[in-house]
Structure 1
Amino acid sequence: MTDAVADEPAEAGAVAVYKRIFKEVLDKRPSGMRLRLAHAMGKNRSFVSQISNPAYPVPIPVQHLNTIFDVCHFPPQAKAAFLRAYARAHPRRISRLTEGPHERTLTLHLPDLGSGKRNAQLDALLQEFARRLIAIMQEKE
């Protein structure tokens, strides 16, 4: 057996290790956390289910890690274990976690407008407003 073939299951196993930690944290959170996390990442709930399931080899994109830590309120020990496992699985990606601009999540409580379409329009409007405002604030003169 070649080393490359021997390493493939180890890589898949490394992804499963950090996903198990993520799943354990999620399972201890109140119901609705997956949906709240999906909204914070701009994704749908099935994406969160996929990236939190150790049976799926799909890695968690590094750009979502800080959002996951913030929204799910990772305990310090779980976060440290997660980051160690993530670094083993993706040694080149982990450096991107500390590079570049950092984001934070803000949760707004809005009225239900009585229509899924109107609620989605309001959500899209506020997200676009935030993106444009940040772009203006980050412009260099």
Structure 2
Amino acid sequence: MNTVAEIAGAEASAMAEYKGILQRLLDNRPSGTRQRLALALGKNRSFVSQITNASYAVPIPAPHIETIFEIVHFPPLERQAFLAAYDRAHPGRLQRSQTGRRIRTATLHVPDLGSEERNRRLDQMLTDVAVQMARIIEDEK
């Protein structure tokens, strides 16, 4: 019989496993992928650091998984291994998440404003507008 401590240990190990898969893939992607991921998730880069570092007990929210797969370009085998570890770490969470509305990423081409700070502020503003629009649409249903 599994004790609560054994179950918690197995879940923590599985979380470390899926975070490790994500971290390895991100480390092999072009510069800027973490920033693109943060923008697509509507989060900041520190959130991406937390969800890729096994030292942090911050789980990846299930609704973010498809966006992560898309931005990071998960190969099929890594996707399967990630999903298996995620399901072991958070039993049933994937199924509950999949009953909700799917999201997609839209790419906008905007002018370069000439400074990293101004570009970041514009990107954040556009992300915020998209999130607010989605909330309005959901509220109407």
Kept in 2: contact 1:20–1:52 (CA 8 A)? yes
- Give the structure-1-normalised TM-score: 0.82
Deviation at 1:122, TM superposition (A): 3.8
**Counterpart for residue 57 of structure 2:** 57
Give 1:74's aligned amino acid: F
Instruction: Report which of the two structures shows the higher radius of gyration computed on alpha carbons.
Output: 1
Gaps of 5+ in 2: none
**What is the rounded CA distance, in whole Å, between the counterparts of 2:43 and 2:129 in structure 1?**
18
Alpha carbons 2:34, 2:45 under 8 Å: kept:
yes
What letter is aligned with 1:22?
L
Deviation at 1:96, TM superposition (A): 2.5
Amino acid at match of 1:96: R
Contact 1:26 1:34 (8 Å CA) reproduced: yes
Q: Would you say how many aligned residue pairs link Structure 1 and Structure 2?
A: 139
User: In the alignment, is the contact (CA less than 8 A) between 2:42 and 2:128 conserved in 1?
Assistant: no
CA distance in 1, matches of 2:81, 2:33: 21
Instruction: Give the TM-score normalised by structure 2.
Output: 0.82
Cα shift readout 1:78-121 (whole Å, capped 9, x = no counterpart):
11110011011101211123212100112223212245675456
Higher relative contact order (CA closer than 8 Å, sequence separation 6+)? 2
TM-superposed CA distance for 1:54, in Å, is 2.0
Deviates more, 1:108-117 or 1:41-50: 108-117
CA RMSD of aligned residues (A): 2.4
